[in-house]
């Protein structure tokens, strides 16, 4: 019977107890299936590292949201592309957030000088 591991925290956090538990229980021949690729790892490098580890340990990886099956060359290619796009999206969000914070600080300093 398949076991389900569900992480409640953000995919970007380094504290991933369910992922750690999953990794500890996997054996050769197992299939790791995720509903959404971007929930597997912190960034594309981490996702690719995990998938490479699954492959080296004789496991299959499937991402349902993208139709990726690492048992095929096309699946490996698509995974690399989508992992890079997911990391790009997260970086853009961080850049916008940092820009917003910098603008808010600048506006705060201007307001302090006026008063």
Does pLDDT of 11 surpass 60? no
Q: What is the C-alpha separation between 105 and 76, in angstroms, rounded?
A: 44
- The CATH number of the domain holding residue 26 is 3.40.50.1390
Mean residue pLDDT across the chain: 84
Task: Kindly state whether residue 112 falls inside one of the protein's structural domains.
Answer: no
pLDDT over 90 (residue 114): no
Question: Could you read off the pLDDT of 84-95 as tens digits, one per residue?
Answer: 887 788 889 989
Stated pTM of the model = 0.62
Q: Evaluate whether 32 touches 18 at the Cβ level (below 8 Å).
A: no
- Whether 51 maps to a domain, the answer reads yes
Is residue 6 one of the residues assigned to a domain? no
* DSSP code string of 37-99: GGGT-SSHHHHHHHHHHHHHTT-EEEETTTTEETTSHHHHHHHHHHHHHHHHHHHHHHHHHHH
Number of domains in the chain: 1
Q: What is the pLDDT of residues 16-53, one digit of tens each?
A: 888 889 889 999 999 999 988 877 887 777 888 888 88
In percent, the amount of the chain with pLDDT more than 70 equals: 94
Q: Give the pLDDT confidence score for residue 101 in this predicted structure.
A: 92
């Amino acid at each position: 019977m398949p076991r389900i591991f569900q992480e409640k925290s953000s995919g970007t956090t380094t504290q991933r107890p369910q992922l750690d538990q999953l990794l500890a229980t996997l054996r050769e021949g197992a299939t790791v299936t995720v509903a959404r690729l971007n929930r597997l790892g912190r960034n594309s490098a981490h996702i690719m590292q995990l998938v490479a580890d699954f492959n080296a340990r004789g496991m299959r990886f499937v991402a349902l949201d993208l139709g990726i099956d690492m048992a095929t060359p096309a699946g490996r290619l698509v995974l690399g592309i989508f992992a890079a796009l997911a990391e790009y999206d997260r970086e853009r969000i961080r850049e916008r957030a940092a820009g917003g914070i910098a603008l808010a600080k600048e506006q705060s300093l201007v307001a302090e000088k006026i008063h």
